[in-house]
Structure 1
Amino acid sequence: MRYFYDTEFDQTATGYDLISIGVVAEDGRTYEAVSAEADWDRISQNGWLMDNVVRHLPPQDEWKQRSTIADELFMFLTEDNERPELWGWFSSWDHTCLSKLYGGIPSPDWLPDFTHDLRAVIEYINLPRSVFRRLPIFVVNHSAIEDAWRTKETFDIVAPFLRTP
């Protein structure tokens, strides 16, 4: 099954600190979580993150430990007992954040070693300009779950132009 996801994170000198993750399954199921273990002191000093990311987060009493997020996400992504097919938008950083929940790269066997990057795919197909202009992904608001939905909506529009197995 395809899963469309997005993460919000704080870039640090040593990597990426997961703030939130939103995932939309091809069948419409969703998963959203915020990391209670993010460096909230550092994040609170970053005006851009406060203005563009933190304002979209669920209430603090819903935030979770990374281990809980990893466990719940594993259950969500493997519900159909198949290896998930991951899709994102500018997804290299998202995949890094996702993999870090499971100890980094290489990922565990059940998790793909890469995320299909829809933005890169669109670069290589001959997408009619009229379709390109309609893509919902260009309305990004830095809410992981909303951006995951936009990635799925964009995929659904672009899918007829893709050669898929």
Structure 2
Amino acid sequence: MPTDPRRVYLDTEFLITQPCTTGLVALALTDEDGNDYCAVNAEMDTFHVYSHPWMQEHVWPHLPTLPGMPHRLDYTHPDVKPLAQIADEVAAYFSTGRDTHLYAYYGAHDLFRLHSLWGHNWQVMPRQIPRWHFDLRALQEQAGNPDLPEQDSGAHHPLEDARHNRRMHEHLLSLGTLPGPTVQQEEITHLHARVRELEGAEAAVAATARARAFRDAAAALDSDDTCDCHGCVSCTSRWHAQQFRALADEAERTGPAARAGDTR
């Protein structure tokens, strides 16, 4: 079995105005060996997705629809699945026994939608699901901001976009200008390993330790940079820091110490 991390590429299509799972339209994954997965959310808010002009023009044409009724989603199509099934199949996709490096392009929203399959609850989410990702836009910047291959067709089809993410990464790797793992990336990996070790710990200790680990991660990643491009290293790091702080707050709210004061 290969010992190097498996490279997996993610893309999602979503309704930006609905951060809940009804706003998830479709999700796709592919890896360096071409193992593909694509699913359309049977529980999406089809009315608002189709009513959104941009979604109707760019995303809806790639979805399975009823013959002669292009405005109606075909719920009998094998790619159209309920969220619970998608979550189980995505968990199985990542269950290879290898570490995974996840890649996405401007991928903060994609990671958010992936984690929404488990309600953003890392205690429920299977441990093989990546908690973080490498943003291809940030890697492009680290490589000297070279031009990336253009996508000839299939834009906004989730699987075609995921495959294009792989092509962009392969192009960046071929240039030989990507730096090795940064101290920051190694720190993220180390901190996530600490969190995973705590998952089986006794509840009172685990809640406190998880909160502390999340706050350590936030402090390590936070940035004072005011850039708002959402793709560079600073923006990606600041977004991760915000997520870690939110997880620390949740651990403190739901831990045994917090529940001890609940008089209900």
| TM-score normalised by the chain length of structure 1 | 0.86
Equivalent residue for 2:127? 109
Q: Does the CA-based 8 Å contact 1:83-1:111 persist in structure 2?
A: no
For 2:97, the aligned partner's letter is N
Query: What 5-or-longer segments of structure 2 have no aligned partner?
Result: 1-5, 66-73, 182-264
Closer/same/farther in 2, CA of residues 93 and 14 from structure 1, 3 Å limit:
closer
Q: Does the CA-based 8 Å contact 1:137-1:151 persist in structure 2?
A: no
Matched, 1:82 2:98: yes
Query: Any residues of structure 2 matched to 1:69-148 within 5 Å, and which?
Result: 69-78=86-95, 80-106=96-122, 107-127=125-145, 129=146, 132=147, 134-136=148-150, 141-148=155-162
| TM-score normalised by the chain length of structure 2 | 0.56
The structure richer in helix per residue is 2
Q: Secondary structure at the match of 1:23?
A: strand
* 2: CA distance, partners of 1:137 / 1:158: 15
Alpha-carbon distance, 1:46 to partner = 0.7
The structure richer in strand per residue is 1
* 1: CA distance, partners of 2:18 / 2:91: 28
Q: Does the CA-based 8 Å contact 1:21-1:144 persist in structure 2?
A: yes
Alpha-carbon distance, 1:124 to partner = 2.0
Higher relative contact order (CA 8 A, sep 6+): 1
Matched, 1:9 2:14: yes
Q: Secondary structure at the match of 2:14?
A: strand
Q: Secondary structure at the match of 1:11?
A: coil
Instruction: State the number of aligned residues.
Output: 160
* 1: CA distance, partners of 2:154 / 2:107: 14
Matched, 1:53 2:59: yes
Q: Does the CA-based 8 Å contact 2:29-2:37 persist in structure 1?
A: yes
Closer/same/farther in 2, CA of residues 13 and 39 from structure 1, 3 Å limit:
closer
CA RMSD of superposed structures (Å): 2.1
What percent of counterpart residues are identical? 28
Closer/same/farther in 2, CA of residues 143 and 13 from structure 1, 3 Å limit:
closer
